[in-house]
Protein backbone atom coordinates (compact mmCIF):
# COMPACT_ATOMS: atom_id res chain seq x y z
CA UNK A 1 0.00 0.00 0.00
CA UNK A 2 1.40 3.37 -1.05
CA UNK A 3 0.56 6.42 1.06
CA UNK A 4 2.23 9.18 -0.92
CA UNK A 5 2.85 9.54 -4.63
CA UNK A 6 6.30 10.09 -6.08
CA UNK A 7 5.80 13.69 -7.15
CA UNK A 8 4.91 14.76 -3.59
CA UNK A 9 7.33 12.61 -1.59
CA UNK A 10 10.19 15.13 -1.49
CA UNK A 11 7.99 17.97 -0.33
CA UNK A 12 6.33 15.76 2.26
CA UNK A 13 9.73 14.61 3.53
CA UNK A 14 10.97 18.16 4.04
CA UNK A 15 7.75 19.50 5.54
CA UNK A 16 7.18 16.57 7.89
CA UNK A 17 10.75 16.89 9.17
CA UNK A 18 10.26 20.60 9.82
CA UNK A 19 6.83 20.05 11.35
CA UNK A 20 8.30 17.47 13.75
CA UNK A 21 10.32 20.27 15.37
CA UNK A 22 7.04 21.78 16.55
CA UNK A 23 5.71 18.62 18.21
CA UNK A 24 6.95 17.87 21.74
CA UNK A 25 8.29 14.35 22.02
CA UNK A 26 7.48 14.27 25.73
CA UNK A 27 5.24 16.09 28.19
CA UNK A 28 5.75 15.57 31.93
CA UNK A 29 3.49 16.84 34.71
CA UNK A 30 4.40 16.22 38.32
CA UNK A 31 4.91 17.53 41.82
CA UNK A 32 8.04 18.75 43.55
CA UNK A 33 8.72 20.72 46.75
CA UNK A 34 5.06 21.54 47.36
CA UNK A 35 4.48 22.79 43.81
CA UNK A 36 3.90 21.44 40.35
CA UNK A 37 6.09 21.32 37.26
CA UNK A 38 5.29 20.88 33.61
CA UNK A 39 8.08 19.90 31.23
CA UNK A 40 7.39 20.17 27.51
CA UNK A 41 10.28 18.57 25.64
CA UNK A 42 10.76 19.29 21.96
CA UNK A 43 13.53 17.64 19.93
CA UNK A 44 15.92 20.57 20.35
CA UNK A 45 14.78 22.30 23.55
CA UNK A 46 12.75 21.90 26.73
CA UNK A 47 10.37 24.36 28.34
CA UNK A 48 9.78 24.01 32.08
CA UNK A 49 6.90 25.69 33.82
CA UNK A 50 7.06 25.67 37.64
CA UNK A 51 4.05 26.61 39.75
CA UNK A 52 4.56 27.19 43.48
CA UNK A 53 8.06 25.71 43.54
CA UNK A 54 10.35 27.73 45.82
CA UNK A 55 13.62 29.01 44.32
CA UNK A 56 12.65 27.95 40.78
CA UNK A 57 12.08 30.29 37.90
CA UNK A 58 8.48 30.19 36.75
CA UNK A 59 9.57 29.41 33.19
CA UNK A 60 12.86 28.18 31.81
CA UNK A 61 14.06 27.00 28.42
CA UNK A 62 17.09 24.75 27.98
CA UNK A 63 18.69 22.81 25.15
CA UNK A 64 19.35 19.04 25.41
CA UNK A 65 23.08 19.48 26.06
CA UNK A 66 22.50 21.83 29.01
CA UNK A 67 19.72 19.59 30.35
CA UNK A 68 21.97 16.53 30.10
CA UNK A 69 24.85 18.32 31.84
CA UNK A 70 22.50 19.35 34.65
CA UNK A 71 21.18 15.77 35.08
CA UNK A 72 24.50 13.92 34.56
CA UNK A 73 25.21 11.67 37.52
CA UNK A 74 21.57 11.56 38.66
CA UNK A 75 19.07 8.77 38.20
CA UNK A 76 17.60 10.72 35.27
CA UNK A 77 20.98 11.16 33.57
CA UNK A 78 20.58 8.18 31.27
CA UNK A 79 17.17 9.43 30.12
CA UNK A 80 18.66 12.81 29.30
CA UNK A 81 21.53 11.07 27.49
CA UNK A 82 18.92 9.28 25.37
CA UNK A 83 17.27 12.63 24.65
CA UNK A 84 20.68 13.95 23.58
CA UNK A 85 21.05 11.04 21.12
CA UNK A 86 17.52 11.58 19.81
CA UNK A 87 18.20 15.29 19.41
CA UNK A 88 21.37 14.53 17.43
CA UNK A 89 19.45 12.18 15.13
CA UNK A 90 16.68 14.74 14.69
CA UNK A 91 19.24 17.51 14.08
CA UNK A 92 20.79 15.34 11.34
CA UNK A 93 17.33 14.95 9.79
CA UNK A 94 16.70 18.68 10.03
CA UNK A 95 20.06 19.52 8.48
CA UNK A 96 19.55 17.01 5.67
CA UNK A 97 16.04 18.33 5.02
CA UNK A 98 17.43 21.86 4.58
CA UNK A 99 20.04 20.48 2.17
CA UNK A 100 17.33 18.57 0.30
CA UNK A 101 15.16 21.70 0.12
CA UNK A 102 17.98 23.91 -1.17
CA UNK A 103 19.77 21.39 -3.41
CA UNK A 104 16.97 19.11 -4.60
CA UNK A 105 18.66 17.98 -7.81
CA UNK A 106 21.92 17.11 -6.04
CA UNK A 107 20.07 15.33 -3.23
CA UNK A 108 17.99 13.35 -5.74
CA UNK A 109 21.21 12.17 -7.42
CA UNK A 110 22.52 10.54 -4.22
CA UNK A 111 22.91 6.75 -4.19
CA UNK A 112 20.22 6.54 -1.48
CA UNK A 113 16.78 8.09 -1.88
CA UNK A 114 16.66 11.31 0.22
CA UNK A 115 13.03 10.62 1.15
CA UNK A 116 14.08 7.28 2.61
CA UNK A 117 16.96 8.92 4.47
CA UNK A 118 14.58 11.37 6.14
CA UNK A 119 12.07 8.60 6.84
CA UNK A 120 14.70 6.45 8.53
CA UNK A 121 16.00 9.37 10.57
CA UNK A 122 12.50 10.30 11.78
CA UNK A 123 11.72 6.69 12.77
CA UNK A 124 15.06 6.44 14.58
CA UNK A 125 14.49 9.72 16.42
CA UNK A 126 11.00 8.57 17.43
CA UNK A 127 12.29 5.27 18.81
CA UNK A 128 15.07 6.99 20.76
CA UNK A 129 12.61 9.56 22.16
CA UNK A 130 10.33 6.69 23.20
CA UNK A 131 13.26 5.09 25.03
CA UNK A 132 13.98 8.42 26.74
CA UNK A 133 10.33 8.66 27.82
CA UNK A 134 10.43 5.14 29.24
CA UNK A 135 13.64 6.00 31.11
CA UNK A 136 12.16 9.27 32.40
CA UNK A 137 9.15 7.42 33.78
CA UNK A 138 11.38 4.83 35.46
CA UNK A 139 10.38 1.84 33.35
CA UNK A 140 7.65 0.28 31.30
CA UNK A 141 5.39 -2.74 31.36
CA UNK A 142 5.78 -3.12 35.11
CA UNK A 143 9.58 -3.26 34.95
CA UNK A 144 11.39 -0.85 37.28
CA UNK A 145 14.60 0.22 35.55
CA UNK A 146 15.93 2.01 38.62
CA UNK A 147 15.99 5.33 36.79
CA UNK A 148 13.48 8.11 36.62
CA UNK A 149 12.87 11.76 36.10
CA UNK A 150 13.42 12.55 39.75
CA UNK A 151 9.86 13.81 40.31
CA UNK A 152 6.68 11.83 40.84
CA UNK A 153 4.29 12.48 37.99
CA UNK A 154 3.11 11.45 34.57
CA UNK A 155 5.29 11.34 31.48
CA UNK A 156 3.67 10.96 28.04
CA UNK A 157 5.40 10.42 24.67
CA UNK A 158 3.16 12.89 22.84
CA UNK A 159 5.14 13.34 19.63
CA UNK A 160 6.68 9.89 19.35
CA UNK A 161 3.77 8.40 17.35
CA UNK A 162 3.96 11.35 14.94
CA UNK A 163 7.71 11.00 14.33
CA UNK A 164 7.36 7.28 13.70
CA UNK A 165 4.27 7.73 11.51
CA UNK A 166 5.95 10.46 9.44
CA UNK A 167 8.99 8.24 8.98
CA UNK A 168 6.96 5.17 8.01
CA UNK A 169 4.95 7.16 5.48
CA UNK A 170 8.17 8.44 3.93
CA UNK A 171 9.74 4.97 3.88
CA UNK A 172 6.66 3.63 2.09
CA UNK A 173 6.54 6.43 -0.50
CA UNK A 174 6.20 5.35 -4.10
CA UNK A 175 9.43 6.66 -5.59
CA UNK A 176 10.19 6.51 -9.32
CA UNK A 177 13.77 5.51 -9.99
What angle do the packed helices 77-102 and 64-71 form, to 10 degrees?
170
- Name which of 2-6, 67-71, 123-127 the model is least confident about: 2-6
Three-state SS string over 104-167 comes to: HHHHHCCCCCHHHHHHHHHHHHHHHHHHHHHHHCCEECCEECCCCCCCCEEEECCCHHHHHHHH
31-81 residue pLDDT tens: 877 888 899 999 999 998 988 877 777 888 999 999 889 888 877 788 899
Q: Which whole number is the average pLDDT over 157-169?
A: 95
pTM over 0.85: yes
Beta bridge partners of 30: 37, 153
Amino acid sequence: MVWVRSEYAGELAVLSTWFAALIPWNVFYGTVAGGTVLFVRFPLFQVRYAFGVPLAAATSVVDPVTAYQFQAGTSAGIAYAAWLVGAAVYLAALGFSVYYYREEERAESLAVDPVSILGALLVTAGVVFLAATVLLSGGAFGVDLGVGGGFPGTSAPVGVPFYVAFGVVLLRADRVA
